[in-house]
């Protein structure tokens, strides 16, 4: 029990070092070359890994749904992940990954689980900026570092997968629930960072409804570089960053630099004193919320409920 607790604490402390752990698994042969590639999901999203139990099919279920399982008293939907990404298992659907994501619990059927690897976010590149963009992949992890011939793993965009499998009913960004426009300091904007195309699209819709000028970037490193450029520009004009940026909104899981590291950099730099930071993430749980407070974030909101995000923004903006 002591070893298990120590393992949990070590994984929690990784968030303070720009490191994380990636669960590697295989889905079977892909449709292009017939090869079995490695895929990955952040360990913090995984609640449980179990041998495939008996699944109860549901009448009239949506495509890619295998049915439901009763696991420890909870009814959990099971999704056919190989079918979703276009792979064909060669030995069957043998493993079930139970995930907690964006306030929901669901399971993904996979062919096999390979390993858990500890990586630095600098080993992970945005799929879009690296020219490998796919609708269901956020980034590419170089498992052996930045070396020629490094094994690569595709980090799946669970947000995009869930939206594809079960699209939300109605408009996820309802203007009536979002509320009136934000009153930002004239000349300022919101700087938002998220590696998921789906998440960026939803955030953009919300900020447009709030009539808030914004810039959107794909990683914590991009956000940090942009803040530094704005700080230099503001100093040359005899101003501060607060004359350029009203708020930073950041995801946690991002290539190159995660949201924890970005937030800590901002809060430890005198140039950005007084700049509010909200962490907006699908990672939930008390351990993450405790760490959000430890790095000095001004707010934390779980993805994606438009009115919750709007409320969090209003709470941290200067009156």
Listing DSSP states for the chain in one string gives: -HHHHHHHHHHHHHTTTTEEEEEEEEEEEETTT--EEEEEEEGGGEEEEEE----B--TTPPTTEEEEEEETTEEEEEEEHHHHHTEE-SS---EEEEEEETTEEEEEEESEEEEEEEEEGGGEEETTTTT--BTTEEEEEETT-S-TT--EEEEE-HHHHHHHHSPPSS-SS-HHHH-SPP-PPTT-EEEEE-S-HHHHHHHHHHHHHTT--EEEESSHHHHHHHHHHHHHHHHHTT--GGGTEEEEEE-SS-SSS-HHHHHHHHHT-GGGTT--EEEEES--SHHHHHHHHHTT-SEEEETT-HHHHHHHHHHHS--
What is the per-residue pLDDT for 304?
Answer: 80
Model pLDDT for residues 156-184, shown as the tens digit of each residue: 988 888 888 887 776 778 888 888 888 89
| Confidence check: pLDDT of 284 > 50 | yes
Question: What number is the average pLDDT over the span 47-60?
Answer: 93
What is the per-residue pLDDT for 289?
Answer: 59
Confidence of residue 101 (pLDDT cuts 50, 70, 90): confident
């Amino acid at each position: 029990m002591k070893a298990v607790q120590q393992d949990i604490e070590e994984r929690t402390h990784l968030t303070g070092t720009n490191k994380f752990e990636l669960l590697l698994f295989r889905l079977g042969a892909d449709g292009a070359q017939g090869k079995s590639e490695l895929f990955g999901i952040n360990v913090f999203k995984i609640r449980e890994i179990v041998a495939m139990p008996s699944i109860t099919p549901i009448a009239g279920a949506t495509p890619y749904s295998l049915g439901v399982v009763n696991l420890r008293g909870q009814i959990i939907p099971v999704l056919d992940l190989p079918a979703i990404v276009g792979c064909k298992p060669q030995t069957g659907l043998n493993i079930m990954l139970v995930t907690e994501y964006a306030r929901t619990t669901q399971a993904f059927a996979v062919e096999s689980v390979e390993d858990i690897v500890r990586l630095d976010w600098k080993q992970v590149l945005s799929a879009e900026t690296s020219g490998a963009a796919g609708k269901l992949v956020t980034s590419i992890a170089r498992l052996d570092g930045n070396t020629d011939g490094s094994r690569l793993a595709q980090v799946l965009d669970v947000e995009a997968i869930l939206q594809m499998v079960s699209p939300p009913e109605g408009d996820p960004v309802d203007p009536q629930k979002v509320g009136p426009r934000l009153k930002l300091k004239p000349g300022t904007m919101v700087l938002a960072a998220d590696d998921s195309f789906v998440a960026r699209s939803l955030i953009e819709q919300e900020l447009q409804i709030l009539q808030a000028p914004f810039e959107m970037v794909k990683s914590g490193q991009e956000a940090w570089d942009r803040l530094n450029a704005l700080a230099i520009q503001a100093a040359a004009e005899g101003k501060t960053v607060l004359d350029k940026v009203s708020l930073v909104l950041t995801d946690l899981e991002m290539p190159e630099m995660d949201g924890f590291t970005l937030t800590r950099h901002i809060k430890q730099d005198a140039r950005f004193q007084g700049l509010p930071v909200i962490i907006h993430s699908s990672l939930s749980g008390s351990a993450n919320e405790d760490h959000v407070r430890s790095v000095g974030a001004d707010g934390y909101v779980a993805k994606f409920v438009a009115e919750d995000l709007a409320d969090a923004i209003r709470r941290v903006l200067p009156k």
